[in-house]
Structure 1
């Protein structure tokens, strides 16, 4: 097993373990925002029992690495939308509403912080647990076979990490599915409107057909009367000249 310090020094080693987010809840429950995807800088600081400034300084030093694992800074329209959709449903004590930006972290980013944060007992415990699980899962059974309990725990941790990623993907799909459902609802409403218009047109056409039929009958009657008049004229021609 590599020493704990190796995680602090090797980005490649950290990247190889970045998906094992299940170890976070094994050490301490990580509270999430209502979307189930993000935590704020304050929540990260509370989890690791350090100050927000420590987390912010760490994020500034390792911004590229943490960003690749899901850390982001919200500003402008993105921040207003996040406040409206997420923070409005969560009582963030002392959150400064006038702040022009907000750092948020995914579970992968939080695990990344655990692998970088030196002076946090919680972070050290996460690193030890992470390395123990990795050793139990990858060690050859013929040389250092782990106990069944440790092996099962390691496997369960891997499964939980995979499920966490699947859950995050499904939560990402949630808004897309809602938007698709809304569009389908609007299409259904338009189709209903078209059905009503077609039904109205059918009624108008039926009325027009009735009028046309009535006019046809009247014209047929007039035609009959005209022929009768012509026949009477032929049988009784008007005498030529005046009376004598």
Structure 2
């Protein structure tokens, strides 16, 4: 787990933590501009309870890193447009929104978190770093627990695989016996079909014999009747 010193010294570690802007609100409330996105240098200084000069020095020493995390400097027409938008969002008159003379530095929440990971002489910044490191430790613990669970599952699946390998020959023999039984059942069906056809033929023979017997009976009766007359 990274330490506070490592966080202060390593940009790579700081980059890994830039998405954890929720930590800022766990320490104290950050007052955003009316657009709900940006804060000014004085707002950042107020949050960390230091002077604006301290914030400016940190920003100057790590300018490239700050710009990648969201620092913007407005001048000229961009500044005038932004001020006009802020005045509209502020809902007041010309004096409602503080004016900047020639330029305005704007920080996003990511940039403020970046400052917290660089600012050494601020109790608030130290609290933010503590929250970050605690969250990192908790996340690592959760990952370790998940890894152990996955390992146990893999172990169980390995046992299942071994059992299936042992059952393979048994299942193969059962499959062969079922195939043999299917063939025997099919032959039985064929024999029964042949017997059914033969029984049909026998039934027809019986019907014909019954008809001939009836005819013979009638002839016999006729002969007896004729003999009686004589």
Q: TM-score range by the shorter chain?
A: 0.5 to 0.7
Q: 1:71 to 1:80 in 2, by over 3 A?
A: same
Aligned to 1:116: 118
Q: What is the rounded CA distance, in whole Å, between the counterparts of 1:23 and 1:98 in structure 2? A: 30
- Structure 1 match to 2:145: 141
Structure 1 CA distance for aligned equivalents of residues 100 and 107 of structure 2: 20
Provide closer, same or farther for how the CA distance between residues 88 and 55 of structure 1 changes in structure 2, counting only shifts above 3 A: farther
- Higher relative helix content: 2
**Are 1:34 and 2:48 matched, yes or no?**
no
User: Is 1:125–2:124 an aligned residue pair?
Assistant: no
Instruction: Report the alpha carbon displacement of residue 138 of structure 1 after superposing the two structures with TM.
Output: 2.0
| Aligned twin of 1:64 | 64
Q: Measure the CA separation in 1 of the matches of 2:136 and 2:80.
A: 40
Distance in 2 between residues matched to 1:25 and 1:57, nearest whole Å: 24
Give the TM-score normalised by the residue count of structure 2.
Answer: 0.58
Shift of 1:31: 1.2
Distance 1:128 1:105 in 2: 22
Secondary structure of 1:57's aligned partner: helix
CA apart distance, 1:62: 0.4
Change (3 A) 1:132 1:101: same
CA distance in 1, matches of 2:62, 2:23: 21
* Residues 22-43 of structure 1 deviation map (CA, whole Å, 9 limit, x = unaligned): 0000111111111111000010
Q: Provide the rounded CA distance (Å) in 1 between the counterparts of 2:71 and 2:15.
A: 15
Structure 1 gap segments, 5+ residues each:
145-244
Measured in 2, the distance between the counterparts of 1:70 and 1:136 equals 27
Question: Do the aligned partners of residues 66 and 98 (structure 1) sit closer, same or farther apart at CA in structure 2, a change above 3 Å counting?
Answer: closer
The one of 103, 107, 111 equivalent to 2:109 is 107
What pairs up with 1:38-49 in 2 under 5 angstroms? Answer: 38-49=38-49
Offset, 1:18 = 0.5
Hey, what does 2:203 align to over in structure 1? Answer: none
What's the counterpart of residue 25 of structure 2? 25
1:158-200 residue CA offsets vs partner (Å, 9 max, x unmatched): xxxxxxxxxxxxxxxxxxxxxxxxxxxxxxxxxxxxxxxxxxx
Indicate the residue corresponding to 2:99 in structure 1.
97
Distance 1:87-1:49 versus aligned 2 partners, 3 A rule:
farther
Q: CA deviation at 1:142?
A: 7.7
Question: Bigger radius of gyration, 1 or 2?
Answer: 2
CA distance in 1, matches of 2:100, 2:68: 28
Residue 84 of structure 2: aligned partner: 84
Q: CA deviation at 1:98?
A: 5.2
RMSD over aligned CA atoms reads 2.3
Task: Kindly tell me the number of residue pairs found equivalent between the two proteins.
Answer: 143
Rounded Cα–Cα distance in structure 1 between residues aligned with 2:86 and 2:34: 6
Shift of residue 97 of structure 1? 2.9
Task: Show the counterpart of 1:152.
Answer: none
